[in-house]
Every structure is written in structure tokens, then in C-alpha cells.
Structure 1
Amino acid sequence: MPTRPRDALGHFNTAPTEAAETSLLACCGSRRWAHRIAAHRPYPTVDALLAAADEAGYDLSGADLDEALGDEVAPALPTGTPAAAHTALRAAHDAYESRFGHAFVICLAGHPREEHLDAVLGGIRSRLGNEPEEERAVAADELRRLARARLAQLIGSPDNTD
């Protein structure tokens, strides 16, 4: 039987700090972000937890953002994806990483799985034209959205579309 969000939230709220931070680091690679969210437990609702995650995401320092972006990896394609798609995606990621120095991040929550490849390739293509400072702001926003979606999934909440 799947864990209900309230049960998962209760478990998260009462987990040892180190365990909570480890779970949070799977959502966002910033240790400060994970520590801040874990330190403010207990959360009365999933919405309160997600709001705290958003706030912590907006408050990432430059070093925190570098740490979190450094922890991200390029999203994998589903098995059975044609080799040409893998090649195109690898080339696009390489171009992005060469220009900006970190993995491309994009939150695909709310996109049907069959549209993920197009969304990633289109996102890379459009964002390669950004200036580094502009892209850093876009990447920070995508990272915040991605962390929120991962946290919602961790807690079992249906609210993973932001």
C-alpha cells in the first residue's frame, strides 16, 4: 500500500536530522538548503514543507547554487530510445556544459514522458543563447522547481507540477 502524504510527512518530521538531510540532498544538492529545511521541522502540512523548500531555494547563495548545480547530472533517456536521440542529447548537453560549466537542469514535472526529450532539447537550444548571468538565474529557478517536484515525490504529494 502506498504511503499517504501525511504518513510520509510524519516520518520526515520525526526522522533523525542526518537521515532527513540525506533525503533532502537527493532533492537538491545544496547542503545549506537541506540543513535549513531539516532544521525547521516539524512541518504541519506538505504545503508548508514545499513552501519552506521554495523559500530556501530562493535564498541560495552563489556558492550554494554552485554546489547544487555541481551535484546535478544530465537526465537519462528511457530505455528503448533510439541511438540518434542519445547522440543528439549528449551533444546538446556537452555544448551547454561547455558554455555554462554545469549540467543542464530543467523541471519536467507536468510534461508527459513522451515529450521529455523534446522539452530538454528545446530548452537547451533556447537557453544556449542566454548570457551566463541570465542563464544562472534561469538554472536557479529550474533547480528550485526541480527540488520542489522531487520533494513532493519523496513525500508522496500529488503537488509536483510547479
Structure 2
Amino acid sequence: MTLDEWNALDAAAAERELRQVCAVPRWAREVAASRPHPDVASLQAMAEVTLTDADLDEAMAGHPRIGDRNAGGASAREQCGVAGADAAVLAALADANRAYEQRFGHVYLVCATGRSAQELLDILRARLGNDPATERAVALAELAAINRLRIARMFAEDAA
């Protein structure tokens, strides 16, 4: 699909496409309502400013754990750097995920694209030292980065 085709969709269809990017209905509705966009960068900017702290919990519920072998769709593609990791790194990642979830009450959200399992583990361990407010701000920034990448992939021919 091109950006022009997405701009021409009815509101419900545009929202459905955006829900593949981020599982937050309010966000998808507001971003779809901001059409038309002249370019992908404009859409990405609107997607970022429309994302609020209130959206974070709902968005995280739509993301699998880093290293989850059952992750599908965009998450599986984004986590491909984890696929070839050795068993020790995967076990450490699973342990760190559990510690993170106990500390913060939600999944570890990170823009995994282009990162190895060891990098993701190191980032997770570092973020365990954050206080809850700092970590929430970091997670929201990571969600915005994930959304930017997913929007670019929606319009790969336009973003190239």
C-alpha cells in the first residue's frame, strides 16, 4: 500500500492498518483522523505526538516478551536478532524479563530491530536500575521508535 492509498481509505480501514502498528484504539483513531499526510515523515511525526503516557499500558499488552519464540507478525521480524542466540543468553534474557516484570509490572518494551539478544539483555539489565517514572518515560520513547519503524514498513516503497 502507498501513503496515497492509505490517505484515501475510509476511517475504519485506516485505523485497522494503524492497529497493526500499535494496539491502541484511541491512538489509531486520532492518527487516522489527522489525514491526509503529504509524506511518511509527517505521518510518523503525528503518530509520535499523538502517543501519550496513558496509551503505554494498552500498547504494552500487545507486545510479546523479548525472546518469546512464539512472537508473531511484526514482533517476530523485529526480534530476529534473538533467534540465533545461544541457550545461555536466552535463559538469561528470560530471567531478566521476569525480574523486569516483577519490578515494573509490565513487559520490557524495547525497539529490538537490528539488535542482538546480548544487546537486548544488556539494555534490559541497565533499565532494571531505573526508577518507575524514568522507566515509563524510556518505555514510551521505545514505543514511539517501534511505531516509527512499523509505519515506515507499512509504506516501504514510499520510505525507501
Q: TM-score range by the shorter chain?
A: 0.7 to 0.9
Identity %: 38
Secondary structure (helix, strand or coil) at the match of 1:81 reads coil
The residue aligned with 1:107 is: 111
The residue aligned with 1:34 is: 28
Alignment partner of 1:73 out of 64, 70, 74? 64
- Deviation at 1:80? 4.1
Bigger mean CA offset, 67-76 vs 28-37: 67-76
Counterparts of 1:82 and 1:37 in 2: how far apart (Å)? 40
Secondary structure (helix, strand or coil) at the match of 1:92 reads helix
Bigger mean CA offset, 77-86 vs 141-150: 77-86
Counterparts of 1:61 and 1:92 in 2: how far apart (Å)? 24
The answer for unaligned runs of 5 or more in structure 1 is: 1-6
TM-score of the two chains, using structure 1 as the length reference: 0.80
Counterparts of 1:47 and 1:80 in 2: how far apart (Å)? 33
- Deviation at 1:120? 0.9
The residue aligned with 1:141 is: 141
Counterparts of 1:80 and 1:146 in 2: how far apart (Å)? 22
- Deviation at 1:16? 2.7
TM-score of the two chains, using structure 2 as the length reference: 0.81
- Deviation at 1:41? 1.2
- Deviation at 1:61? 4.2
Counterparts of 1:65 and 1:85 in 2: how far apart (Å)? 28
For 2:103, the aligned partner's letter is: R
Aligned residues: 145
The answer for unaligned runs of 5 or more in structure 2 is: 68-78
Counterparts of 2:133 and 2:108 in 1: how far apart (Å)? 15
